[in-house]
Amino acid sequence: MKLAPVDYLILALYFAFVLGIGWRLRKKISTSGDFLTSGHSVPVWITSLAFIAANLGAQELIGMSASGAKYGIMTAHFYWIGAIPAMLFMGIFMMPFYYGSKARSVPEYLKLRFDEKTRGYNAFTFAVMTIFSSGISMYALGLLLHLVLGWNFNTSVLATAAIVLAYTYLGGLTSAIYNEVLQFFLIVAGFAPLAYLSCTKSGGWSGIMSRLPANMTHAWSYMTSASQNNMGVDLFGMVAGLGFVLSFGYWCTNFLVVQRAMAADSMSAARRTPLIGTIPKMFLPFIVILPGIAAVALAHMNLGYDLPTKAGGYDYDQVLTTLMAKFYPAGMLGVGLTGLMASFMSGMAGNVTAFNTVFTYDIYQSYIRRGAPDHHYLTVGRMTTVAGVALSIGAAYLAQYYNNIMDLLQFVFGFVNAPLFATFLLGMFWKRATAHGAFSGLVSGTIAAALTWGLTVAEGKGGVLGQVHQFPSVMAQNFWIAILAFSACFVVTILVSMASRPRPEKELEGLVYGLTKMPVDTAKWYQRPAPLAIAVSILVILLNIWFA
């Protein structure tokens, strides 16, 4: 792929705007709260788009089109059975406790609800995970730019990281969130035309269906057993593993996304943030997955498009860029490439802003230096932003040793996030859950995840501790790691809670269901959470039926 001067012009224009937004917002920062939590002042349409954009990193874009080419429309389960129900649950049931507790972060909620050790455990694991995610994203981008444009891996990684650092350092979370919205628009502008062009070229959805095996164009019909579909996952593994444990674990407890909703200017806006976010979210598969599916159909048509290959098979991670090269002329190609850069930046800025908040409030202020004046924590927040970017760069070089980006991400989420949702579920809805219960539950969940991974084999990997069971695919293994980690955490939390002394109910007001006055929403009926959630559910069910 060769770029024309106009493509570079578009890329430069985008960089100028991103930095400009950071520069204009720098004056709004005078306290650590402004820098790390946006001072609860961001309008709801902005938080909603930032909520989904922070998750829409480069590895998501590249990974989703790759999975589309590999697994077909079943990939949409990550959205339609995964993200959407979890986002609805988060807005309706969990946001009142997050926003109402006045916690500044997810680990801080755990501190208020349980105790210091639960917070510390969560803060530490989360900090490590965000650095890894950020590094993986950076690696994915650097590799792609190298393969596609021949750009130097080091230069492109360091230059984009420097831009992210500049605007998050200047304007903090507000700058990250504002830019995420611009980035979201740009991702849609850059990739929606690709979906349209590749899909019409392959004869529309009916043309694609006629050229692909039926299990790639049906989301639900081929899941009675794992051997029927390319993912190697059965119905239970999909619904319980991805639909329940992994998705709820990610969308309801991951501070990266929760932070965006917490930045909203009122309780009502905070609850609506994930709910409104579901509307663009449910249509994203048509932009990010469809091109991957169309690519397989195109490869059957002798038009001069072949699926990209590497030693030992297809290189699905290059599907998106090879399509761009075939469908985008100079000009639009610049927009597509800028969209890819934008997705990378939104993902990385999301990770960095979540990391600096958790580090500053939950690690530094709690364990290293308490009770300092606020401007001290503002400085620490800024320094942590620099350190976070530096560590991500380190993680990017580490990520070079792993191949499939999506699988690795799921794997990390399985260890850390899956047990977490059990802790929040019990913490928010069962007042008897105690701090010792929560902590031992989390630890057992993570151990259960590690043991499952160590004792099972999938696609010739894993089984470090022996081979008890063989999974049909790494995906199935990941889903089951999550299911077992969640179950272990759930059971151990209940058992240990029953054996330990409960906290007085007075201390739990505002933190637990039943002891919290649920917010009365005075917004117009169609802006209230419940009607919004019902409308979204109907739409998603229709989408699932349509592509069943």
In the list 93, 124, 151, 185, the residue contacting another protein (rule: CB under 8 A) is: 185
The verdict on 12 binding another protein (CB under 8 A) reads: no
Phi/psi-derived region of residue 304, left when phi > 0, alpha when psi is between -120 and 50, beta in every other case: left
In the list 110, 182, 474, 481, the residue contacting another protein (rule: CB under 8 A) is: 182
CB 272 within 8 A of CB 532: yes
Of residues 51, 37, 120, the one with CA closest to residue 365: 120
Q: What is the 3-state secondary structure (H, E, C) of 3-16?
A: CCHHHHHHHHHHHH
| Contact window for another protein (CB under 8 A) among 145-153, 302-310, 483-491, 499-507 | 302-310
In the list 147, 335, 406, 482, the residue contacting another protein (rule: CB under 8 A) is: 335
Of residues 63, 21, 23, 390, the one with CA closest to residue 186: 21
Which tokens hold the place of 85? 């129900």
CB 357 within 8 A of CB 37: yes
The verdict on 15 binding another protein (CB under 8 A) reads: no
Distance of closest approach, residue 201 Cβ to another protein, in angstroms = 6
In the list 139, 178, 222, 421, the residue contacting another protein (rule: CB under 8 A) is: 178
In the list 12, 204, 213, 329, the residue contacting another protein (rule: CB under 8 A) is: 329
In the list 21, 53, 76, 212, the residue contacting another protein (rule: CB under 8 A) is: 21
The verdict on 327 binding another protein (CB under 8 A) reads: yes
Instruction: Provide the 10 A C-beta neighbour count for residue 263.
Output: 26
The verdict on 328 binding another protein (CB under 8 A) reads: yes
Distance of closest approach, residue 453 Cβ to another protein, in angstroms = 42
The verdict on 240 binding another protein (CB under 8 A) reads: no
Which tokens hold the place of 43? 């309008």
In the list 46, 293, 320, 363, the residue contacting another protein (rule: CB under 8 A) is: 46
DSSP 404-463: -HHHHHHHHHHHHHHHHHHHHHHHHH-TT--HHHHHHHHHHHHHHHHHHHHHEEETTEE-
Cα gap 15→163, rounded to integer Å = 8
Task: Please say which residue, 21 or 81, places its beta carbon nearer to another protein.
Answer: 21
| Contact window for another protein (CB under 8 A) among 11-19, 236-244, 378-386, 457-465 | 11-19
Task: Please say which residue, 178 or 413, places its beta carbon nearer to another protein.
Answer: 178
Which tokens hold the place of 490? 């759930």
The verdict on 164 binding another protein (CB under 8 A) reads: no
CB 38 within 8 A of CB 381: no
CB 247 within 8 A of CB 83: yes
Task: Please say which residue, 197 or 476, places its beta carbon nearer to another protein.
Answer: 197
Q: Kindly determine how many residues on this chain lie close enough to bind another protein according to the rule CB under 8 A.
A: 33
For the segment 24-43, give every residue that binds another protein (CB under 8 A). Answer: 24-25
CB 186 within 8 A of CB 332: no
The verdict on 330 binding another protein (CB under 8 A) reads: yes
| Contact window for another protein (CB under 8 A) among 18-26, 69-77, 114-122, 135-143 | 18-26
CB 308 within 8 A of CB 315: yes
In the list 295, 332, 358, 492, the residue contacting another protein (rule: CB under 8 A) is: 332
Place of tokens 């699932």: 544
| Contact window for another protein (CB under 8 A) among 267-275, 323-331, 386-394, 399-407 | 323-331
The residue ranges that bind another protein (CB under 8 A) are 6, 9-10, 13-14, 17, 20-21, 24-25, 46, 178, 181-182, 185, 189, 193, 197, 201, 298, 303-305, 325-333, 335
